[in-house]
């Protein structure tokens, strides 16, 4: 599993797998992206991060408050070709991102202002290795009714790793087979399914996808056995 210590020491060129040089963002590019995002900070209210994937069960950054929340206008989709971490260029998987339409339930993390830049630098190193996301300030409704402004990592449809076809038939075989330095692509999906169920946020389409992936993996084991 990805840990804070691993991420702090990680060399983005090698630690997550073999990433094509043209796709890899430099430290300077990540710093510029973070600076540009903070320059667009709507106000001086606390900074919240919206977690809808692995941030839900493995945030690794420090937060002063964690609350369930709903983001309107965006939905989960496995639309990012996964060539590192839990996949490789030769056997790519699929990673989760946000696409326009619908809504998404997840977790909101309020970052400490005194450590804001440090925690965001770590988050950018985790999420923006190839600059595939558009960090976007969004209005988020928390479970207690509060409305906060949160940063959400939304898929950039112009990015070379964007995949427009995220239907289960296309995605399931890829997720079932892919793995990399950080583990299997399937385990990512199963961990998310488990976390959503634990928090009463079950998502039917994601549960169906997980079922398809398990069936494919079972079929492979039967063929091998």
* Catalytic residue positions, numbered: 127
Cα separation of 121 and 4, whole Å?
Answer: 12
Give Dmax over CA atoms of the chain in angstroms.
59
3-state secondary structure of 87: coil
Query: DSSP label at 111?
Result: P
Q: Terminus-to-terminus CA distance in the chain, angstroms?
A: 29
**Do the Cβ atoms of 152 and 74 come closer than 8 Å?**
yes
Q: Which residues are registered as beta bridge partners of 170? A: none
**Do the Cβ atoms of 202 and 196 come closer than 8 Å?**
yes
Cα separation of 132 and 155, whole Å?
Answer: 6
b/e code 149-186 from CB counts within 10 Å (16+ = b) = ebbbbbbbeebebbbeebebeebbebbbbbbbebebbb
Token couple for 218: 């079972």
């Amino acid at each position: 599993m990805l840990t804070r210590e691993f991420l702090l020491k990680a060399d983005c060129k090698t630690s997550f797998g073999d990433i094509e040089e043209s796709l890899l963002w430099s430290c300077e590019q990540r710093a510029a992206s973070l600076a540009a995002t903070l320059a667009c900070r709507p106000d001086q209210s606390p900074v919240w991060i919206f977690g809808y994937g692995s941030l839900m069960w493995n945030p690794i950054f420090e937060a002063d408050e964690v609350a369930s929340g709903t983001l309107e206008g965006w939905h989960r989709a496995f639309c990012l070709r996964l060539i590192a971490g839990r996949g490789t260029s030769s056997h790519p998987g699929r990673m989760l991102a946000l696409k326009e339409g619908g809504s998404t339930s997840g977790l909101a993390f309020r970052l400490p202002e005194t450590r804001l830049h440090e925690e965001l630098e770590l988050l950018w190193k985790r999420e923006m290795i190839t600059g595939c996301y558009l960090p976007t300030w969004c209005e988020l409704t928390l479970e207690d009714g509060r409305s906060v402004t949160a940063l959400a990592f939304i898929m950039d449809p112009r990015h070379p790793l964007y995949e427009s076809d995220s239907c289960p038939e296309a995605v399931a075989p890829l997720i079932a087979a892919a793995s990399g330095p950080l583990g299997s692509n399937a385990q990512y999906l199963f961990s998310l399914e488990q976390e959503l169920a634990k928090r009463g946020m079950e998502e039917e389409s994601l549960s169906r996808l997980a079922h398809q992936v398990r069936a494919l993996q079972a079929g492979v084991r039967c063929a091998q056995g």
